Chains A and B, each alone.
Chain A
Amino acid sequence: MNSRIADYLNALEGRLAVPAERVALVVSELRSHVHDDLDDRMRAGIDEDRASEDAVAEMGDAEGVAGQFNQDYRKELGGAAMRRAIAAAQIVVVGVFAVMCGGLNGVTNILAAIGRATRLGLPPNETVLFAPVEGQPGAWLPNWEPGTWFDSWTHVVSFLHQHPAPVVLLELLLVMIAGLLAGYLVGRRGWAFGLIAVALPWMWVEASESLELTLLRIAAVVAGAELGSQLQQRGWRHWSLAAAAGVLGLAVVIGFVDTGLSEGFVKASIWWSIFIAAAVPIGLLVNLITQRWPAMRTCVSLRIERCHSSE
């Protein structure tokens, strides 16, 4: 290697503020670049001394070039930190939602069962935090005093318990799984159209019974789909399938513990199997169309004014 070029690469190496293994790769890559540049110049009849001077000049000063790599690395670190923060926030939101929708009931039942099994020094069927609901065997309501921090949950839990709770909760869990699978399989754009196109009209028709229930269903679909989409983007294939299987398993277990294999559970399972089967192909189709014809994506993205302007 020509000494001028070697000096340049050494100077560059000394100014790179990136991890050591990346320094080695960057320098190797630039070495091959400048080597080829030098070869080309010499083949064009320029003597080596002049050619190496030109090749080095062509690269730009070492500080500037190193600065670009350093800036890029800092950006990458910042981007990764931001992505991690967003992913963590999303997981927290989805997690909280899942706990609110389903987990709380499961946890309630588990704690109640522990309470029943151990009695905790209390009479049978009575625990400190949870009390049985009259006329609904196996259902337990929070037994805490108003004004405590538990109180904010009371409305949600009470609402859920006013309905045939296991069925509602199982349905919400299944909705989340449907969303998760569809989000994972077709990505965000797919679920936005596939899921909503199928889910919302059906939910609306079905929802005459309760607006709150409809909102819960919609939120469950969106939360599940967003989670699935995030998992897909991160390539967490096994995690997402495991999560779906885990949630489904939990739903089945809660269903058995709470009600046995009730008619409602079977109905909900069938509905959501049909729903997944219908939503995913639509999502895939939308995804395919928008990838194949980018102009259509613009329209599908609801940026109507751009569609009009390009017509």
Chain B
Amino acid sequence: MTKEKSELLRGTLVSLVLSVIERRSLYGYEIAKEVRVRTGGILHLKEGSLYPALHAMERDGLLVAEWQAAAQGPSRKYYRLTRKGRSALRRRRSQWSEFRDATDAVLRTRPAEEATS
């Protein structure tokens, strides 16, 4: 992943996580996989960023976690949204739309267009 993409991802990591566990509880590996699938493989959450972020979100009360025994292999820690997490997600979605539109407005304007407008 390029440095630029990593920087962008860092700023949106919490929103992505909140969004993928909005409907159902998932554990770390599933969260990373879900993000990769939904973004067509463009975004890839590294474990070194994902797990510290999950733990911080748990501390902040956005998520609650529960260890569950797996039918096969080691136990898994499932994360689900709290009410605070849901309202944070709503807020982040709205902020993201605003930010994306604002950024687009700047990035899509080329010097030639400015000159003619």
Contacts and interface: CB of A to CB of B under 8 A. Distances in A.
Interface residues of B, number: 27
B91 A294 contact: yes
Contacts of B70: 32
Contacts of B29: 32-33, 36-37
B75 interface: yes
Interface in B58-96: 59, 70, 73-77, 87, 90-91, 94-95
B51 A29 contact: yes
Nearest to B77: A29
A282 to B, nearest CB: 20
Interface in A57-106: 58-60, 64-65, 67-69, 71-72, 76
A72 B56 contact: yes
B52 interface: yes
B49 interface: yes
A32 B29 CA distance: 8
A76 B59 contact: yes
Interface string B10-27: 000000000000000001
Contacts of A67: 48
A72 B46 contact: no
Binding site secondary structure of chain B: helix
A33 B75 CA distance: 10
A35 B52 contact: no
Nearest to B101: A310
Contacts of B28: 29, 32-33
A245 to B, nearest CB: 27
Contacts of A294: 90-91, 94-95
A37 B33 CA distance: 9
A35 B48 contact: no
A126 interface: no
Contacts of B59: 76
Contact of A39 (B52, B73, B75, B95): B73
A17 B77 CA distance: 21
B100 to A, nearest CB: 13
Given A69-B52, A310-B98, A33 B73 contact: no
Nearest to A26: B51
A297 B76 CA distance: 38
A297 B30 CA distance: 34
Interface string A254-281: 0000000000000000000000000000
Contact of B46 (A29, A40, A60, A71): A60
A69 B87 contact: no
A134 B40 CA distance: 85
15 contacts: A25-B77, A28-B77, A29-B28, A29-B77, A30-B51, A32-B75, A37-B29, A59-B48, A60-B46, A60-B47, A64-B48, A72-B52, A294-B91, A294-B95, A310-B98
Per CB-CB distance, the 5 closest pairs between chain A and chain B, nearest first, are A72-B52, A68-B48, A65-B48, A294-B94, A36-B29
